[in-house]
Structure 1
Amino acid sequence: MIAWEVPAASSQPLTNIDEDATVGVDAFSRIAPAVPIIANVIICENLFKVLTSSTGGRLQFSIFDKYLTALERAIKKMKSQSESSILSANRSSRGEKILEVEGTVTTQPVLEHVGISTWPGRLTLTDHALYFEAHRVVSYEKAKTYDLSEDLKQVIKPEVTGPWGARLFDKAVFYKSTSLSEPIVLEFPELKGHTRRDYWLAIIREILYVHRFIRKFQIKGVERNEVLSKAVLGVMRVQAIQEISTADSGHCENLLMFNLCDQLPGGDLILETLANMLSARELDQSNNSRAGGEMYAISALTMVSNLGFVFGSNSSNPNETGLVVGEIAVGKMSLLERAVKESKSSHMKVVQAQETVDGVKVDGIDTNLAVMEELLLPVMEVKKWLLSLAYWDNPWKSSVFCLVIAFILCRGWLGYALALLHIFFASFMALARFFNQGQPVDEVKVIAPPPMSTMEQLLAVQTAVSQVEQLIQDGNIFILKLRGLLLSIFPQASVQFAVTLLLVAFILVFVPCKHIAALIFLETFTRYSPPRKASTERWMRRLREWWFSIPAAPVILERDQEDKKRK
């Protein structure tokens, strides 16, 4: 890595290489993924940020050595767990490897909630499934299996739990699948924070996502074991980072490649590139061996096999010399590296855009309303102009507008008019970019309203809730009246409504659509013109009276049996 800091022949050589030498992200990202257990192309930059969080963005050898030592301990731990008798009967058929175990220490229990029942127990994650064994007096009950490798429409997300159904503690994982009659909740209690829950949520999702990737691209054989090896190595790296890092490990999903691809923009393209590389792996190996020169990084499956883990019955070291198609190509950038680079470039744009969003957020209902009014000012001005035309405040302007729109509708030019409107907006944006290039962005200036007390804000919220409630009531009444008309609960009004519907149906059948649109526009727009204003007001009054005379269909409210029992 130190040599890669100045890789070009014209670069100045490093004269002082000692134990205090450090490396940057480019050197680490280029060299570290050559050994899959240390890093891979997708997560290497995030791993570098974690390792250098306390050293100003430069990796020191002492920290890197601690990381390698922690990796060695994580390997030994995983190896001893997989060779132990834990769940030996359940995982023997698929040769599952145990990745993590939790709940064996009484001070850090794991609680499983199913409905209103709760059991403490031991939770075990393998590379295929999740197992929970409830505690007995001196042993464990038979393990419950939650298979992550099958397509069971699983849903895994963070959950809030608490006593008697109260949602107080954000320390649990929600799991649901089609194989379960009701979802389960796995709780990881701790005094403060939710680090345990975040860690388990990330590694459970990693196993779920890797099997989704395998099913989506129909990966089989040695390539399937290679993909599983990548997920296993990712969990090992997270365990090593947790051991040496004092920072909050709540973002450990950024160190797991399948979790990260689920979040990154274009993450699906990264996985598609990875699948294509895996499918072309054997062909590339044969071509490279005949060409005799291009070298590639050792594969994840080879690395895991060398560590003593065996994947499946058909696993074998695909290339004893290590010259296999991997993620790093000597002398050029691989397709996977290009896909990751493009995705992270898009991610930076998303992050920068989100920073601007966070920067314009303001507190307070009154302040947000003031900002919204200022932003909607152009729309409100257009609305005022249209209402002025519709109410014929200036008969000359309204007449011209009415004739032009009616002519466009009668000629069937509405599509052309809308296209012209889009062209106008596109031209406006192009001109704005041309003239504002290099100029500072115009800020929206808002006059802040006087500050509101807590009581005034509560009253404003109460008023808003009352208004929303009134709107919902009006909507319910409208639907109930319409139900009464359709079911002929009120015969006289229903007959009038049915005759109107028949008349509209005949018009739709015999009159062309463009003429119907023109008639609807003329009828609506000329309502308040001087010749029609008096008759429009009279007919609108008769229509309101007719609508108010229609009773609403009856409604009966019944309490649920459980609510009755609680009361």
Structure 2
Amino acid sequence: MAAVSKTRNMIEGFVRDGSFKWLLKNRNPFHEEFEEMKMSPSGDKNWIYELSPVANIVVRRCSKILNIPTRLLQENFNEEAPDVTKDPSRYARNFLEYSCFRALSLSTQISGYMEDKKFRRLTFDMMLAWEVPDAASQPSMDIDEDATVGIEAFSRIVPAVPIIADVIISDYIFEFLTASTGGRLQFSTFEKYLSGLERAVRKLKSQSESSLLSSQRSGRGERVLEVDGTVTTQPVLQHVGISTWPGRLTLTDHAMYFEALRVVSYDKPTVYELADDLKQFVKPELTGPWGTRLFDKAFLYKSVSLSDAIVMELPELKGHARRDYWLAIIREILYAHRFIRKFQITGVERDEILLKTIFGILRVQALKDISSAIPLSFEAGLMFNVCDQLPGGDRILETIATSVGELTPLEKAVKESRSNYKMVTNAQAAVDGVKVEGIDTNLAVMKELIFPVTELGNRLVKLFYWEEPVKSLAFCLVFTYVIYMGWFSYVLALLLAFLALFMMVTRCCSRGRPVDEFKVTAPPPMNTMEQLLAVQNAISQAEELIQDGNVVLLKLRGLLLSIFPQASDRFAVALGMSAVFVAFVPIRFVVLLVFLEEFTKYSPMRRSSTERWNRRLREWWFSIPAAPIVLEKLKEDKKKK
């Protein structure tokens, strides 16, 4: 009785001396529950001395959900939890987490829990309590409608409800939701996000239960995740070859379907598999009238089961967010099935992986309806897309495949990968910052960047053509001696060591100083027509290079197959003599002789003979006709007009 009286007096003292004034500002659930605890005969027994007032109220709610007294819940924790979690400095938070996770696990088994406003408030209040768990904690915020929580509390509590977040992408969801509120999450924003999730779940159920694609989906029990192209103002256009058809695009957790639009109905859907191993890939694609590549609003799908790649265009007036969204969710399904095949996951575990994938897509759909100070990155909200981009993302997937509900190794892998990803992001930002517009400007930048290399090449060319005989002779003698003594590997090693030393000295000398900007003289500005002409000239030059390369390959083909016996005989004799020479002469002397042969060709003594020999070689090469080729066109089925 003395202990009960002492506890009651302590609670009343808290109210009297103002310790709970932060609870009395507004009538809210905390205030009401605190009053209820004070008036209840069992309130004193269920008060946990180690916990803060907020944590006590949250644990009391958890005990009601679990239908056990708070003291019994604490006794279960003391019996079941390992000793390391009972350290006095961590006891309050660990017991709070134990109570919250048990309550959330039971609550999420009830159908329609996402619609329950009490569940939403409880989840948020758990985060509030997590930030001030122990009795010695001083609240850093008022527990009212304006109360906010930080990223650590969010990332620790909400992954216990898999549909809200998982440990891999919880940080990104929090950053997106709090971009305009200084990195603190408000309940109104959190509730708006959960409402969006609820709508996404209802949409998933209604689409999957409808008759849409019922015959194709019945065997695998596929769930319809997204449908587009049903509104005439936002069509989906399928490009196959030169044919283009509007229609309806549907994504399930196993495949992608396209139904071409007829006058009043749709054609039988074409299936594009994502679950089977067909070496599929999807990537952004450009489209435009008559085969031009102007509009960046489409994606390309290709697999070994298709003779031609198909292109899906999702036109919109501004930007390409619609295409990016579809590209991200299609890749998420594709990556999930690759993960399942790689680790040979079957049964219930396979269903869990697909469910995590579906949850990720539902989260992205919910975030699309929320305005934020930062644009929504679809890939950053999808687990398998994130693991594909993060440095070390493969280790995260391996951890997922090998763990039995153990979050600690997974959290460690995620934390390490995110740390590395920040460095990659910073590096990419620096790369984006130095990108310039215009072909002429990019060529000017490249010319300046490779100037040291071109200058070195020019000096070597001068030595090769003996424009300065003394220097060429000295260079020839030095390298002849190096090759003869077998020191070439040491010279290469010395060069690499010199580069490493140069980098270290530069780093020490420039420590703390900003990096000097690379200065480039900008060329005269070019208008759009001039730039198009420059592109056309570049394409023409590239075409000429490819043609010349094809001619060389066709002539070599003719020589190797003896299509032209006289030229092939000479070529075969030359190859045979070279083979004998290489077989019986040590490789060091072979390299030495090749070096001397090539480097002294344009020396004063050999220049005239070299020119005659080159002329005879060109005449012989030009006399060889190219092997004949025939271009055959595939017989294409008549395309839909």
Short-chain TM bin: 0.7 to 0.9
Question: 1:105-184 alignment to 2 at 5 Å?
Answer: 105=231, 108-110=234-236, 112=238, 122-133=248-259, 143-161=269-287, 170-180=296-306, 182-184=308-310
User: In the alignment, residue 202 of structure 2 is paired with which amino acid?
Assistant: K
- Aligned-residue sequence identity (percent) comes to 65
For residues 85-129 of structure 1, give each alpha carbon's deviation from its aligned partner in whole angstroms, at most 9, with x where no partner exists.
444454444443333344555555555555666665554433333
Q: 2:124: which partner in 1?
A: none
Whole-angstrom CA distance in 2 between matches of 1:561 and 1:398: 57
Displacement of 1:44 in angstroms is 1.4
Shift in CA distance, 404/8, structure 1 to aligned 2, threshold 3 Å: farther
Q: Is the 8 A contact 1:198 1:250 kept in 2?
A: no
Whole-angstrom CA distance in 2 between matches of 1:562 and 1:105: 36
Asked which structure has the greater RCO (Cα within 8 Å, sep 6+), the reply is 1
Shift in CA distance, 61/165, structure 1 to aligned 2, threshold 3 Å: same
Displacement of 1:531 in angstroms is 3.7
Q: 1:236: which partner in 2?
A: 362
Shift in CA distance, 251/410, structure 1 to aligned 2, threshold 3 Å: same
User: In the alignment, residue 417 of structure 1 is paired with which amino acid?
Assistant: V
User: In the alignment, residue 518 of structure 1 is paired with which amino acid?
Assistant: L
Question: 1:486-501 alignment to 2 at 5 Å?
Answer: 486=560, 493-501=567-575
Q: 2:422: which partner in 1?
A: 348
Shift in CA distance, 385/9, structure 1 to aligned 2, threshold 3 Å: farther
For residues 50-87 of structure 1, give each alpha carbon's deviation from its aligned partner in whole angstroms, at most 9, with x where no partner exists.
21233343322211111112222222332344444444
Unaligned runs of 5+ in 2: 1-126
Q: 2:392: which partner in 1?
A: 266
Q: 2:413: which partner in 1?
A: 339
Whole-angstrom CA distance in 2 between matches of 1:465 and 1:125: 38
Deviates more, 1:336-345 or 1:487-496: 487-496
Displacement of 1:238 in angstroms is 1.7
User: In the alignment, residue 498 of structure 2 is paired with which amino acid?
Assistant: F
Q: Is the 8 A contact 1:195 1:248 kept in 2?
A: no
Shift in CA distance, 500/69, structure 1 to aligned 2, threshold 3 Å: closer
User: In the alignment, residue 504 of structure 2 is paired with which amino acid?
Assistant: A
Whole-angstrom CA distance in 2 between matches of 1:57 and 1:69: 21
Q: Is the 8 A contact 2:563 2:627 kept in 1?
A: no
Q: 1:304: which partner in 2?
A: none
User: In the alignment, residue 52 of structure 1 is paired with which amino acid?
Assistant: T
User: In the alignment, residue 492 of structure 2 is paired with which amino acid?
Assistant: L
Whole-angstrom CA distance in 2 between matches of 1:107 and 1:452: 38
Whole-angstrom CA distance in 2 between matches of 1:487 and 1:55: 74
Q: Is the 8 A contact 2:132 2:138 kept in 1?
A: yes
User: In the alignment, residue 336 of structure 1 is paired with which amino acid?
Assistant: L
Q: Is the 8 A contact 1:173 1:186 kept in 2?
A: yes
Whole-angstrom CA distance in 2 between matches of 1:452 and 1:96: 54
Unaligned runs of 5+ in 1: 282-324, 328-333
For residues 155-196 of structure 1, give each alpha carbon's deviation from its aligned partner in whole angstroms, at most 9, with x where no partner exists.
333444556656565544433334455554444455554444
Q: 1:368: which partner in 2?
A: 442
Shift in CA distance, 349/534, structure 1 to aligned 2, threshold 3 Å: same
Name the SS of the counterpart of 1:100 in structure 2. Answer: strand
Question: 1:255-294 alignment to 2 at 5 Å?
Answer: 255-277=381-403, 281=404
Whole-angstrom CA distance in 1 between matches of 2:532 and 2:259: 49
Deviates more, 1:210-219 or 1:159-168: 159-168
RMSD of equivalent CA atoms? 3.8
Q: Does 1:519 align with 2:587?
A: no
Displacement of 1:241 in angstroms is 1.6
Q: 1:439: which partner in 2?
A: 513
Deviates more, 1:477-486 or 1:70-79: 477-486
Q: Is the 8 A contact 1:242 1:249 kept in 2?
A: no
Name the SS of the counterpart of 1:175 in structure 2. Answer: strand
Name the SS of the counterpart of 2:301 in structure 1. Answer: strand
Q: 2:191: which partner in 1?
A: 65
Q: Is the 8 A contact 1:409 1:517 kept in 2?
A: yes
Q: 2:625: which partner in 1?
A: 552
Q: Does 1:216 align with 2:342?
A: yes
Q: Does 1:359 align with 2:409?
A: no
For residues 142-167 of structure 1, give each alpha carbon's deviation from its aligned partner in whole angstroms, at most 9, with x where no partner exists.
55444432222223334445566565
Question: 1:338-417 alignment to 2 at 5 Å?
Answer: 338-392=412-466, 395-417=469-491
Q: Does 1:19 align with 2:92?
A: no
Q: Is the 8 A contact 1:199 1:249 kept in 2?
A: no
Q: Aligned to 1:528, which of 577, 587, 602?
A: 602
Q: Does 1:96 align with 2:170?
A: no
Larger Rg: 2
TM-score between the two structures when normalised by the length of structure 2: 0.69
User: In the alignment, residue 180 of structure 2 is paired with which amino acid?
Assistant: S
Displacement of 1:6 in angstroms is 5.9
Whole-angstrom CA distance in 1 between matches of 2:601 and 2:269: 75
Q: Does 1:43 align with 2:134?
A: no
User: In the alignment, residue 244 of structure 1 is paired with which amino acid?
Assistant: I
Q: Is the 8 A contact 1:199 1:250 kept in 2?
A: no
Name the SS of the counterpart of 2:251 in structure 1. Answer: strand
Shift in CA distance, 375/112, structure 1 to aligned 2, threshold 3 Å: closer
Q: 1:206: which partner in 2?
A: 332
Displacement of 1:471 in angstroms is 4.0
Name the SS of the counterpart of 2:225 in structure 1. Answer: strand
For residues 285-337 of structure 1, give each alpha carbon's deviation from its aligned partner in whole angstroms, at most 9, with x where no partner exists.
xxxxxxxxxxxxxxxxxxxxxxxxxxxxxxxxxxxxxxxx264xxxxxx2112
Shift in CA distance, 108/258, structure 1 to aligned 2, threshold 3 Å: same
Q: Is the 8 A contact 1:114 1:182 kept in 2?
A: yes
Displacement of 1:43 in angstroms is 1.2
Displacement of 1:213 in angstroms is 1.2
Whole-angstrom CA distance in 2 between matches of 1:345 and 1:483: 53
Q: Is the 8 A contact 2:280 2:302 kept in 1?
A: yes
Deviates more, 1:380-389 or 1:251-260: 380-389
User: In the alignment, residue 155 of structure 2 is paired with which amino acid?
Assistant: S
Whole-angstrom CA distance in 1 between matches of 2:348 and 2:557: 63
Name the SS of the counterpart of 2:516 in structure 1. Answer: coil
Whole-angstrom CA distance in 2 between matches of 1:118 and 1:531: 68
Whole-angstrom CA distance in 2 between matches of 1:148 and 1:544: 54
Deviates more, 1:8-17 or 1:528-537: 8-17
User: In the alignment, residue 521 of structure 1 is paired with which amino acid?
Assistant: F
Whole-angstrom CA distance in 1 between matches of 2:484 and 2:576: 24
Whole-angstrom CA distance in 2 between matches of 1:160 and 1:367: 24
Q: Is the 8 A contact 1:110 1:189 kept in 2?
A: yes
User: In the alignment, residue 339 of structure 1 is paired with which amino acid?
Assistant: A
Shift in CA distance, 546/416, structure 1 to aligned 2, threshold 3 Å: same
